A = this chain, B = another copy of it.
Amino acid sequence: MFTIGIDYGTNSVRALVVRCKDGAELGTGVVNYPSGTQGVLLDPKNHNLARQNPADHLFGLEKSIKLALAQAKKVKGFDARQVVGLGVDTTGSSPIPVDATNTPLALNKKWSGNLAAHCWLWKDHTSIKEAAEITALAAKIRPHYIAKCGNTYSSEWFWSKILHCRRTAPAVFKAAYSWVELADWIPSVLAGIKDPKAVKRGVCCAGHKALYAADWGGLPDKEFLAQLDPALADLRDRLYEIAHDATASAGTLCAEWSKKLGLPAGIPIAIGEMDVHYGAIGSGVSEGTLVKIIGTSTCDCGVVSADKTVADIPGICGIVKGAILPGYYGLEAGQSAVGDIFKWFVEGVLGDVKLHAILTAEAAKLKPGQSGLLSLDWNNGNRTVLVDPLLTGLTLGTTLYTTKAEMYRALIEATAFGARAIIERFKEYGVPIDRVVCAGGIAEKNPMLMQIYADVTGCTMLVAGSSQACALGSAISAAVLAGAQPDFATAQKKMTRLKKVSYKPKVGNQKIYNQLYALYRQLHDSFGGVNKSADLSRVMKDLLALKVASSR
C-alpha cells in the first residue's frame, strides 16, 4: 500500500509517493508555480505584499502528482491502484477568498487582476496595523484568545489579513463568500467540495492562526469580531464551527480528480496541516524531541501530551491541542528569516550566488569570537520570542579589516542565537527538549551551520532522514487515516528515520558562545524592548576582548 503526500511551499509544490510499510520514497514530482516572481505575486511599491495565484496551486497539484506517479511506476511493486490515501500540507496562514461555490475569487476573470483576490501568502506583512489592533482588543476584552500565542496576534495570520482586505480592498471582501486556508482548500478540491461551509477545516491552521479553540466555542465570538468590524462578525457565520485534528478525514477523492490523476476514487484525504507540522511528523517529532525545519525561515515544533497542562509561554507563536499530532498539544515557534538572511547578504548585497560556497568554506575556518562581530537575526522581524515584525537586522563590531566571510558567519551565528532563545524559552516553561532534529536543505547541506547550532545551543543536532519531511508527514497522516498504519507513533517509527550524521556541541566553542550569547541577549533585550534601561557600554569592548582571546 502507498500514500501520496503533497507539500505546497513558497515557490513550488512537491508530491511524494510513499510506501506505507517502511516509508520508502518511490517517486517525487516538483512543480514551480508559474506566476509572479518565483511563484510569489509582488507589489513593487509595497515590500510587505506577498500573494499566490490559486491557479498555480491547481496546475501544480495535477502536474506534481502525475510526475511523482510516473517516477514511482518505474519502481518494481508499485501500482497506482494500491494508493490508499492522500495527504496535503501547505504554507500558512495563507487564506484565500472564495465564492459560494468554494472557488477562489482569483479564478474569476472579474477579480483575477486584483492582488487582494488571490491567496494571501504566509509571509504577506501588509496587515501590521490590523494585527496590532487585534492584539490590543484581545488584550482588553479577551486576553485568553492570545494567551496561547505569546500574547501577540501576528500580521501573518488569518484575521489580520482578512481585516486588512476589508479595509483596503472592500470590493474583494464583499465578493468573498468565505475564506479558506490553502491547507484546507487543496483537500476540499481533491474531495470535490463545492460549498465553503462543507470544507473540513484543520485545527492546525484554525488553532494557530485563527484564534480557534474548542475551549471558547471555536472561532472568536461575534462581539469580539464586531468590535474590529461588523462585517467580520457577519463573516463568522460563513466560516466554520468545528476544526479537526488529523484523526478526521477531509473527504474522499472525487471522480473528477480520480480521473485526472489516475488514482482510485473514494480513497481518504487527510486533514490539511501546515507544512512544518506535517514536516515535524515526518521528522519524528515526539514529546522531548524538538523538530526544527530550517529553510528561508525556521519553524520549531514540539508536542506535549494533551493529558498534561501546558503553561502559556510568552512569545511562543502557538500552543494548540491536536495541531500536530492527535492527542498532543502542538507547540510552534519560529524565526522569521534564516536562509533568507544568508540569501540577502550573498545574493542581495554581495551580488554573487557563487559566494555561498566560497564564504561557507572561509567562514568554517574562523573560530568562535574571532571576528569580533555580533549580529541580530531580525532582517524580517522577530517571530519568537519577541513577536515583533517591526524589528530589523543589526551587525556590530565591524573594523576596517572585517571580511565578508566574517560577516557571513556572524549572520549564521545570529540565527543560532535566535534558535537558542527559543529553546531556552521552551525549557523555562517546562517543555522538555532532549533531542533536536533538523530538517530542510540547510540542515543537510551546511555542516558548518549545524555545528554552530550545536555549539551555540548546547544540543546535539540530528538530521531528519527524509529530504522531503513535510511531504512524508502528509503521506504518514494519509497512511494512518487509511488504516495502512495503526497509529501515528507506529507510523513514525516505521516510516521515518534519521541521517547517520549528527553534530555534538564542542565544549571549547560552547564556552565562547555562551559569552557571545550573553552579549546577543543584551542587544536582543535592549532593541527588543525587554530591557528599557540597558547599559550597552561594554558590548563592543567585550567583543574585542573575545576577539583577542580567540585569535590566540
Residues of B within 8 A of A404 (CB): 349-351
Contact (Cβ within 8 A) A540 B527: yes
Contact (Cβ within 8 A) A393 B397: yes
List residues of A (320-357) whose CB comes within 8 Å of B's CBs: 337, 340-341, 343-344, 348-351
Distance in angstroms from A348 CB to nearest chain B CB is 7
Q: Is there a chain B Cβ closer than 8 Å to A309's Cβ?
A: no
Residues of B within 8 A of A514 (CB): none
Residues of B within 8 A of A402 (CB): 344, 348-349, 379, 393
Residues of B within 8 A of A526 (CB): 526, 534, 536-537
Residues of B within 8 A of A532 (CB): 535, 537
Q: Is there a chain B Cβ closer than 8 Å to A67's Cβ?
A: no
Contact (Cβ within 8 A) B350 A400: no
Contact (Cβ within 8 A) B537 A47: no
Contact (Cβ within 8 A) B394 A379: no
Q: Is there a chain B Cβ closer than 8 Å to A528's Cβ?
A: yes
Contact (Cβ within 8 A) B400 A349: no
Using CB atoms, name the residue of chain B closest to A123: B400
Contact (Cβ within 8 A) B394 A394: yes
A508-552: contact bitstring with B at CB < 8 Å (1 yes, 0 no)?
Answer: 000000000000000000111100111111011101100000000
Using CB atoms, name the residue of chain B closest to A397: B392
Distance in angstroms from A246 CB to nearest chain B CB is 33
Distance in angstroms from A380 CB to nearest chain B CB is 6
Contact (Cβ within 8 A) A392 B379: no
Contact (Cβ within 8 A) B544 A390: yes
Query: For the complex, what is the distance from the CA of A544 to the CA of B392, rounded to whole Å?
Result: 9
List residues of A (453-469) whose CB comes within 8 Å of B's CBs: none
Contact (Cβ within 8 A) A399 B379: yes
List residues of A (352-387) whose CB comes within 8 Å of B's CBs: 372, 378-380
Q: Is there a chain B Cβ closer than 8 Å to A490's Cβ?
A: no
Q: Which of A528, A529, A540, A543 has the most C-beta atoms of chain B within 10 angstroms of its own C-beta?
A: A540
Q: Is there a chain B Cβ closer than 8 Å to A55's Cβ?
A: no
Stoichiometry, as copies per complex, reads 2
Q: Is there a chain B Cβ closer than 8 Å to A35's Cβ?
A: no
Query: For the complex, what is the distance from the CA of A537 to the CA of B536, rounded to whole Å?
Result: 13
Contact (Cβ within 8 A) B400 A379: yes
Q: Is there a chain B Cβ closer than 8 Å to A391's Cβ?
A: yes
Q: Answer whether A396 and B394 are a contact pair too, CB < 8 Å, given A526-B536, A527-B539, A537-B529.
A: yes
Q: Answer whether A47 and B393 are a contact pair too, CB < 8 Å, given A528-B537, A537-B528.
A: no
Query: For the complex, what is the distance from the CA of A350 to the CA of B359, rounded to whole Å?
Result: 13
Q: Is there a chain B Cβ closer than 8 Å to A395's Cβ?
A: yes
Query: For the complex, what is the distance from the CA of A310 to the CA of B529, rounded to whole Å?
Result: 42
Residues of B within 8 A of A536 (CB): 526-527, 534, 536
Q: Is there a chain B Cβ closer than 8 Å to A403's Cβ?
A: yes
Query: For the complex, what is the distance from the CA of A293 to the CA of B348, rounded to whole Å?
Result: 34
Using CB atoms, name the residue of chain B closest to A380: B400
> Which of B337, B390, B400 sits near A344, CB closer than 8 Å?
B400
Q: Is there a chain B Cβ closer than 8 Å to A101's Cβ?
A: no
Contact (Cβ within 8 A) A540 B392: yes
Residues of B within 8 A of A544 (CB): 390, 392
Residues of B within 8 A of A391 (CB): 540
Residues of B within 8 A of A378 (CB): 540
Query: For the complex, what is the distance from the CA of A394 to the CA of B373, rounded to whole Å?
Result: 9
Residues of B within 8 A of A543 (CB): 392
Q: Is there a chain B Cβ closer than 8 Å to A267's Cβ?
A: no
Contact (Cβ within 8 A) A400 B341: yes
Q: Answer whether A400 and B527 are a contact pair too, CB < 8 Å, given A390-B544, A407-B349.
A: no
Contact (Cβ within 8 A) A540 B380: no
Q: Is there a chain B Cβ closer than 8 Å to A398's Cβ?
A: yes
Using CB atoms, name the residue of chain B closest to A343: B400
Residues of B within 8 A of A394 (CB): 394-398
Residues of B within 8 A of A390 (CB): 540-541, 544
Query: For the complex, what is the distance from the CA of A372 to the CA of B337, rounded to whole Å?
Result: 18
A-B pairs, top 10 by smallest CB distance, nearest first, are: A529-B537, A393-B398, A533-B533, A532-B535, A394-B396, A392-B397, A344-B400, A526-B536, A392-B540, A390-B541
In addition to A47-B401, A351-B404, A394-B396, 9 A-B residue pairs with Cβ atoms within 8 Å of each other are A340-B400, A348-B402, A350-B404, A372-B392, A392-B397, A392-B399, A392-B543, A393-B398, A536-B536
Pick 28 A–B contacts, CB within 8 A, sort by A.
A47-B399, A47-B401, A341-B400, A344-B398, A344-B400, A348-B403, A349-B350, A349-B402, A349-B407, A350-B404, A372-B392, A378-B540, A379-B399, A379-B402, A380-B400, A392-B397, A392-B399, A393-B396, A393-B397, A394-B396, A526-B526, A527-B536, A532-B535, A532-B537, A533-B533, A533-B535, A534-B535, A534-B536
